[in-house]
Amino acid sequence: MDIDIAQVVVHLFVVIMSVSIHEFGHAWMAFKLGDDTAAREGRLTINPLPLMQAYPTSMVILPVLGAFLGVTFAYAATPVSLHRVHRKWSMRQANFLITAAGPAMNFLMACIGVGVLAVVHRLGMSEDPNWGIPIGILAHAMIYLNLVLFFFNLLPVPPLDGFSVLFSVLPPRFDGVRHQLEQMGFMLFMIVFLVGGRLISGPLRATYAWLLQTAGLL
């Protein structure tokens, strides 16, 4: 089996940076709401090195293996202390905003990737082997992989962000259900990890096409 090393490197770079920016979104929003826990631990940054040092398996080994296999996988976590947020925010409101900020950053990065592609296209550089084609490959990877992270993280299964987002908007009477699902978290996550690609493939393709059409690239 032939392996395109350049494609592997691009995939690995984009995945690691996308997860780092995702976690930065959590840390930044927590900081804006008054919780400086992540900032004090050096996590208020898009630099992936602190995450790679804290999570060598999920931020180094698994992404490297995934890059060779064409699988998007990396994982990290951001320390948050909801009791530190400003009193004008309830814990549910703060949890919603902090949790949703991660996937929101991935969607923003996908949009930036579309913007880069649009600029390359407008400048007539799409076929330029020196700049246009490499930038296009990077931008396409940036769009696709960030949309993967966006939709996958919004699945309502612990410990994914979608789970916290969902139960942040549901009334307190559902807290019992939340605790029961959290106890089954590992099993549920493994199931979603195995079938998650099928669950998000439709929305992912539709959003990918919509973004390109909106930018006049399709």
- For the chain, percent of residues with pLDDT exceeding 90: 72
Asked whether the predicted pLDDT for residue 1 surpasses 60, the reply is: no
CA 209 – CA 15 distance, rounded (Å): 21
- For the chain, percent of residues with pLDDT exceeding 70: 99
For residues 93 and 34, is the Cβ–Cβ distance under 8 A?
Answer: no
Q: Residue 81: its pLDDT value, please?
A: 95
CA 157 – CA 63 distance, rounded (Å): 22
**90-142 confidence digits (pLDDT tens):** 999 999 999 999 999 999 999 999 999 999 999 988 888 888 889 999 999 99
For residues 38 and 44, is the Cβ–Cβ distance under 8 A?
Answer: yes
Q: Which residue has the higher pLDDT, 204 or 1?
A: 204
**16-38 confidence digits (pLDDT tens):** 999 999 999 999 999 999 999 99
Q: How does DSSP classify residue 77? A: -
Q: Provide the residue ranges of all domains of the chain, joining segments of one domain with +.
A: 5-214
3 confidence band (pLDDT: 50, 70, 90): low
For residues 118 and 216, is the Cβ–Cβ distance under 8 A?
Answer: yes
Q: Residue 87: its pLDDT value, please?
A: 87
Model's pTM, two decimal places? Answer: 0.93
Q: Residue 130: its pLDDT value, please?
A: 83
